[in-house]
Structure 1
Amino acid sequence: MQKDYVPYGSDVAAGTFECVDCGHRYSNQAKTSIPPCPYFKKDTHTRKGWKVLTGQGDAVIDPYPKKTEKPTGIKQVETSSPASKK
């Protein structure tokens, strides 16, 4: 099943997309993450996404947009400035 709406930041395949808020068309050759509309305005672009016109769009098993995961098993090291010697 192909999604027909992909939010900004989704991983997408090559294709043609149309802004759901203003109708601007965007063709994408190969991206890992679809950008916001170049005409984005906070007050008029409330749905913040693209309609898939051609291509495969966003993968069904790939939820949008990917959140950065913190690596596991890595301990944080405390740092401090060197103490001044008197």
Structure 2
Amino acid sequence: MQKVYAPNGSDVSAGTYECADCGYEYSNQSKKSLPPCPQHLDSLHVENGWKILSGQGDATDDPYPKSGK
């Protein structure tokens, strides 16, 4: 089952992600740490993570706790 959500700080593959709070789209190469949304200071962000639009998302051996999403 492919994940649909990756919390900030997750190891992720290259792909496109959408902020779970405001919808900001972010494309990246593989990252050791998925950054917070650059708009987090402009609006309320409670999910603090990303919807995975393309790519593999959260690495299987990610050191962060499972979010259950």
- TM norm structure 2: 0.82
Q: With CA pairs under 8 Å and 6+ residues apart, which has the higher RCO, 1 or 2?
A: 2
Once the two structures are TM-superposed, the CA of residue 63 in structure 1 deviates from its matched residue by 4.3
Q: Which runs of 5+ in 2 are unaligned?
A: none
Specify the alignment match of 2:35 in structure 1.
Answer: 35
Q: Which runs of 4+ in 1 moved over 3 A?
A: none
Q: Which runs of 5+ in 1 are unaligned?
A: 66-86
Q: CA RMSD in A?
A: 1.9
| Percent identity (aligned) | 63
Aligned residue pairs total: 65
Q: What's the CA shift string for 1:8-55, capped at 9, x where partnerless? A: 000101000000000000001121110000001386100100000000
Specify the alignment match of 1:84 in structure 2.
Answer: none
- TM norm structure 1: 0.67
